[in-house]
Chains A and B, each alone.
Chain A
Amino acid sequence: MKTTVQPYRGDRPPIFKTGALNWMKNNLFSPWYNAVLTVVTGALLYILVTPLWRWGVTNACFGTTPDVCKDNHGACWAFIQDMWPVFMVGTYPSDQRWRVALAAGLVAVLIIATLFRALRKQRVLHLCWVLSPIVIFILVRGGEVFHLSHVPSTQWGGLMLTVFLSLVSMIFAFPLSVLLALGRQSDMPVIRSVSVAYIELVRGVPLISILFMASVVLPLFFPPEMEFSKIMRAVVGITLFFAAYLAENIRGGLQGLSQGQYEAADALGLGYWKKTGFIILPQALRIVLPPMVNNFIGILKDTSLVGIIGLIDLLQVAFAATSNPKWLGKIEEAYLFVALFYWIMCYSLSKFSRILEERYQL
């Protein structure tokens, strides 16, 4: 008897079991209520996105002069195209803007150099990083060094001011917070209670009250001859505020370290500062690096409050730019632009923090 063997014809599995259709069935329409949910969500998305798309893209107009936006219902991106340098640097004199651009370029070069693994260990690069704040400060502020004209801090604004405030506050808050965290872990009752009191007091009050304090009360604390610029007051306020939050994060790192590390350092006969500097802090700070980046995101977002004490930061520059008679009332465009900047900065930083977390396998 001859048995017929069905030759393999290369049949594919049914299309509903693989591929896009199966994915759709599983992820969008699997039980009936999921299908309903998909339809409702899709409709909601459509209702929300279509007007926004129509406003921002289809009906939008581009150019650099206000008359292109006349009798137009869409967004007027001409406003952004014309005013974007103001968003970047505020009222910084326009013929000196190249200095800010140069400073930003320097930072970009440094960052790119750091991305190369081979360069990362170079002493020169570390030195460049350490020196960069001073160089940038001189470059932006000027004042008879290298024949750069002096640009007083009252003229700083926009994105530049936001970045400046958050970076400088972070740089100053970091050592203060390390001391506070160590103080809170200390065995000495006076030092511990002073640290605890400071941390809890600051964490219990809103930033705005500290900013008001820095801007109104701080000058009262010093002899009348001493003058503080507004920016310096804001930096003092933000630094004092965030040092407390940062200190709590660092304390988490100190507590996360196993007790054996402390004991091993003691067994080697290291003194307190050697133990802390060589054994404890390098490990503790590595643990808290991701939360510290999140803390920096917090600083970046909260610098927007300095507008309340009269600085023109990235958020306030939106108001300043729309009160320009040429571009009166273009507030939606300004907001979207500013929000985009905040979002890109914060989102990329939070991604960075997640990468760090994965790298250290925490």
Chain B
Amino acid sequence: MTDSASMPAPEKIPFWRNPTIRAYGFQAVMLVGLVLLALVIYRNTLANLTLRGINTGFAFLSNEAGFGIGETSAIPMINPGFFYFLFSTLGVALGLFLLFRYLIQAEGNGKNRFMLAAGGVLFIGSLGCFYTSISLVETYTYTHAATYVTALVTGLINTLKVAVLGCVLSTILGLFIALARLSPNWLLKKLAHAYIEINRNIPVLMHLFFWYFIVFQRLPGVRQSASLFDTVFFNNRGVYLPRPVFQENFALFFVAIFLSLVIVLFLWLHGRKRQGLTGKKTPLMVPCLGVMIGLPALVYLFTGTPFHFDYPVLKGFNFKGGMTLTPEFMALVTGLTVYVSAFNAEIIRSGIESVSKGQTEAGRALSMSEGRIMRKVVLPQALRVIIPPMTSEYLAIAKNSSLAVAIGYPDLVSIGGTILNQTGQSIEVIGIWMTVYLIISLLISIGMNWYNAKIRLIQR
């Protein structure tokens, strides 16, 4: 009692030393500072723009572009047919999702039966809609007379093309390099190590320049083209490939193939589920083969060949027909793939090495085969380590595809650069770039995070 009486009354903390109030003060100062900075920048920018006679706003986007683009692709027109197509695709995906949810869950109860039925109906119905919608989608391509928007969309499609191809190819190549790096063969191991160390310590722009100026531009001229079985030609104007030409009813054929794949997957998962529940194996070989061959064959009988190949042929000074991959495209995809595959290989290798040796040995003790140990024991655990850094590599590919501007491949940045030079609308163009790349990055992150959450170790 005496203790507390002898204690001096607690000194009142002055308000400027109160942490809460200080925090508010800090934040208010920061906010005011940022707003002031933004205002100053805004005023300066307006003054500078009027000085240079540049109008602000996005009105210029509907002006005629007037420049040529080396690589154009079909852009779907935004009309009811396109939305029909979009929604039926979504319906197919949703139906598939419901179908497979039923199979992945262990027990089958009434609610799940309902899900199965709903999924099946949705899937079949949407597939029908999808088939009818294909002919309703109209497309247009970029020409000199098209608007700046069309030019930017063409650029965006080119960017996406390179990014997706780069992600897929660099993952496959990286996986092979990683396996070579882990191989017991000394020579192969050292070679893979050298590949990784050489490629990842050289700037990506240098890779692009190497493939563009030293490889693809130094290929022989048109008349001396190098050829592969007289169907694929390499020369300094690009790579010429046979192009599939689709017949009238081609879509039905592909729908049939897709449907048969889904049925096989369904049967397989169903068999696996049954084995899990009852321990009985379902013979699947015959029905699967039957579906795989039977369904497309049936469609084939009705519709005839779905497509034939149009081969490139040397006529006069250039190749006619077929499909051309420009040297810029080839250089960009090859350069990005080689550069990123070195990083991917290291990521995959460290992921596989992170799985403890005891796991492999336990697999062997259970007399599993080496391949099965890899697939069922090591890889699922390694993937948890691999996915997060791999995500940032995919993001890097999407962002590095913007280096296309250095070798003249018409991607979003390079077309935007042309527009920037023509119109002087620098703020708007850079704003468009940043928004588009932010959206792409966000989508990749969301997708990979979803996958990561899916395979993550579930701790009970």
A residues adjacent to B (C-beta < 8 A) = 27-28, 30, 34, 37-38, 41-42, 44-45, 187-191, 194, 201, 203-209, 212-213, 216-217, 219-224, 297, 301-302, 304-305, 307-308, 315, 331-332, 335, 338-339, 342-343, 346-347, 350
User: Across the interface, do B438 and A205 meet the contact criterion of CB distance under 8 Å?
Assistant: yes
User: Across the interface, do A42 and B48 meet the contact criterion of CB distance under 8 Å?
Assistant: no
User: Across the interface, do B27 and A304 meet the contact criterion of CB distance under 8 Å?
Assistant: no
Residues of B within 8 A of A187 (CB): 23
| Distance between Cα atoms of A209 and B184 in the complex (Å) | 44
Knowing A224-B47, A350-B201 are in contact, say whether A331-B213 is a contact too (CB < 8 A): yes
| Distance between Cα atoms of A45 and B34 in the complex (Å) | 59
Q: Which residue of B lies closest to A183 (CB)?
A: B30
Q: For the complex, would chain A's binding face be called helix, strand, loop or mixed by DSSP majority? A: helix
Q: Least Cβ distance of A51 to chain B in Å?
A: 13
User: Across the interface, do A194 and B188 meet the contact criterion of CB distance under 8 Å?
Assistant: no
Q: Least Cβ distance of B347 to chain A in Å?
A: 14
Knowing A216-B430, A221-B45, A347-B201 are in contact, say whether A209-B27 is a contact too (CB < 8 A): no
Residues of B within 8 A of A194 (CB): 30, 34
User: Across the interface, do A209 and B438 meet the contact criterion of CB distance under 8 Å?
Assistant: no
Of the candidates A42, A201, A216, the one having the most CB atoms from chain B within 10 angstroms of its own CB is A216
Q: Which residue of A lies closest to B19 (CB)?
A: A272
| Distance between Cα atoms of A30 and B186 in the complex (Å) | 11
Q: Which residue of A lies closest to B188 (CB)?
A: A41
Q: Which residue of A lies closest to B339 (CB)?
A: A301
Q: For the complex, would chain B's binding face be called helix, strand, loop or mixed by DSSP majority? A: helix
B residues adjacent to A (C-beta < 8 A) = 23, 26-27, 30-31, 34, 41, 44-45, 47-49, 51, 183-188, 191, 197-198, 200-206, 209-210, 213-214, 399-400, 402-403, 405-406, 413, 417, 420, 426-427, 430, 433-434, 437-438, 441-442
25 pairs from A and B in contact (CB 8 Å cutoff)? A28-B185, A38-B187, A38-B188, A41-B188, A190-B27, A191-B27, A191-B30, A204-B438, A204-B442, A205-B438, A206-B402, A208-B402, A208-B405, A209-B413, A209-B433, A212-B426, A216-B420, A217-B426, A217-B430, A221-B44, A223-B44, A301-B201, A301-B202, A315-B206, A342-B203
Residues of A within 8 A of B202 (CB): 301, 339, 342-343, 346
Q: Which residue of B lies closest to A193 (CB)?
A: B27
Q: Least Cβ distance of A266 to chain B in Å?
A: 11
Residues of B within 8 A of A204 (CB): 434, 437-438, 441-442
Of the candidates A208, A308, A335, the one having the most CB atoms from chain B within 10 angstroms of its own CB is A208
Of the candidates B26, B191, B402, the one having the most CB atoms from chain A within 10 angstroms of its own CB is B402
| Distance between Cα atoms of A188 and B23 in the complex (Å) | 7
Q: Least Cβ distance of B55 to chain A in Å?
A: 14
Q: Which residue of A lies closest to B49 (CB)?
A: A220
User: Across the interface, do A206 and B437 meet the contact criterion of CB distance under 8 Å?
Assistant: yes
Q: Which residue of A lies closest to B24 (CB)?
A: A188
| Distance between Cα atoms of A222 and B41 in the complex (Å) | 7
Known: A191-B27, A209-B433, A217-B430. 17 other contacts (CB 8 A): A27-B185, A27-B186, A28-B186, A30-B184, A37-B185, A204-B434, A204-B442, A205-B441, A206-B399, A219-B48, A220-B48, A221-B41, A339-B206, A339-B210, A343-B201, A346-B200, A347-B197
Knowing A188-B23, A205-B434, A220-B48 are in contact, say whether A308-B406 is a contact too (CB < 8 A): yes
Residues of A within 8 A of B426 (CB): 212, 216-217, 220
Residues of B within 8 A of A45 (CB): 187, 191
| Distance between Cα atoms of A24 and B426 in the complex (Å) | 63
| Distance between Cα atoms of A42 and B210 in the complex (Å) | 25
**4 tightest A-B contacts by CB?**
A346-B201, A27-B186, A206-B399, A190-B27
Of the candidates A220, A332, A343, the one having the most CB atoms from chain B within 10 angstroms of its own CB is A220
Residues of A within 8 A of B186 (CB): 27-28
Residues of A within 8 A of B51 (CB): 224
| Distance between Cα atoms of A232 and B441 in the complex (Å) | 28
Q: Least Cβ distance of A89 to chain B in Å?
A: 20
Q: Least Cβ distance of B423 to chain A in Å?
A: 12
User: Across the interface, do A41 and B399 meet the contact criterion of CB distance under 8 Å?
Assistant: no
Residues of B within 8 A of A315 (CB): 203, 205-206, 209
User: Across the interface, do A205 and B206 meet the contact criterion of CB distance under 8 Å?
Assistant: no
User: Across the interface, do A343 and B198 meet the contact criterion of CB distance under 8 Å?
Assistant: yes
Residues of A within 8 A of B48 (CB): 219-220, 224
User: Across the interface, do A220 and B27 meet the contact criterion of CB distance under 8 Å?
Assistant: no
Residues of B within 8 A of A338 (CB): 206
Q: Least Cβ distance of A197 to chain B in Å?
A: 11
User: Across the interface, do B45 and A335 meet the contact criterion of CB distance under 8 Å?
Assistant: no
User: Across the interface, do B206 and A342 meet the contact criterion of CB distance under 8 Å?
Assistant: yes
Q: Least Cβ distance of A161 to chain B in Å?
A: 14
Q: Least Cβ distance of A357 to chain B in Å?
A: 13
